[in-house]
Amino acid sequence: MTLPITRAESDPDDAALMARAAAGDREAFALLVDRHKDGLVSYLARLTGSRDRAEDLAQEAFLRLFRAAGRYRERGHLTAFLYRIATNLVRSEARRERRWRRMVPELSRPRPEATEPRGPRRLLERELQGRLAEAVAALPLPLRAPLVLYEIEEWPQREIARVLGCREGTVKSRLFRARARLREALAPYWGDRGGMR
């Protein structure tokens, strides 16, 4: 049963929407999806390197959130709970991909080449962005997820620790290691400029 949303409830918090979703209110859940989908898809796109894949994974994450609505206990951390679901989906997908690669090592898809040159500077910037995206995508997920959440999504380390189910000190360590790997991977592009901060 869907309850009408009154003006007083025009901007209910996540806890209220989840409680209504748990009672079967699909409109309330649709509001939750609208509220969080852009941020979640952006996060997943950076983790996977594919906007299409990110949208598919986000849909699956929201589906799992809806199924868990009756069991969810609000502690003010719905976003962290949703991002943990999404991160676990990426982990599962990465495990499947590793198994597939071991089974069929001869399969590899060539990458399409960029086709819109607009001057040397633009090309260099585009190439550097592409190399950075590749370097981030090549990081193992335990390093990639905190890096994307901290550097791109600008989450605080405490919230990242909650999402990933680890200590804040572990997040700091993983960020340090992720940055070090990126510096190494992108060293040829920095020249004498000293690399990343």
**What would the pLDDT profile of 92-103 be if each residue is shown by its tens digit?**
887 776 655 553
Q: Report pLDDT for 168.
A: 95
Q: Report pLDDT for 154.
A: 81
3-state secondary structure the chain: CCCCCCHHHCCCCHHHHHHHHHCCCHHHHHHHHHHHHHHHHHHHHHHHCCHHHHHHHHHHHHHHHHHCCCCCCCCCCHHHHHHHHHHHHHHHHHHHHHHHHHHCCCCCCCCCCCCCCCCHHHHHHHHHHHHHHHHHHHCCHHHHHHHHHHHHCCCCHHHHHHHHCCCHHHHHHHHHHHHHHHHHHHHHHHCCCCCCC
Domain ranges of the chain: 10-102, 120-187
CATH class given for the domain over 10-102 = mainly alpha
Check: CB of residue 44 under 8 Å from CB of residue 58.
yes
Q: Report pLDDT for 44.
A: 94
**Domain at 120-187: CATH code:** 1.10.10.10
Question: What is the distance, to the nearest Å, from the Cα of residue 102 to the centroid of all Cα atoms in its chain?
Answer: 25
Q: Report pLDDT for 43.
A: 94
Q: Report pLDDT for 122.
A: 65
Q: What is the model's pTM?
A: 0.60
Check: CB of residue 186 under 8 Å from CB of residue 132.
yes
Tens digits of pLDDT across the chain (197 residues) = 445 444 345 578 888 888 888 888 889 899 999 999 999 999 999 998 889 999 999 999 999 998 888 787 766 688 888 999 999 999 888 777 665 555 333 323 444 444 444 566 666 667 777 788 888 888 999 999 999 888 877 889 999 999 899 999 999 999 999 999 988 988 887 654 444 44
> Residue 56 burial by CB count (10 A; 0-12/13-18/19+): exposed, middle or buried?
middle
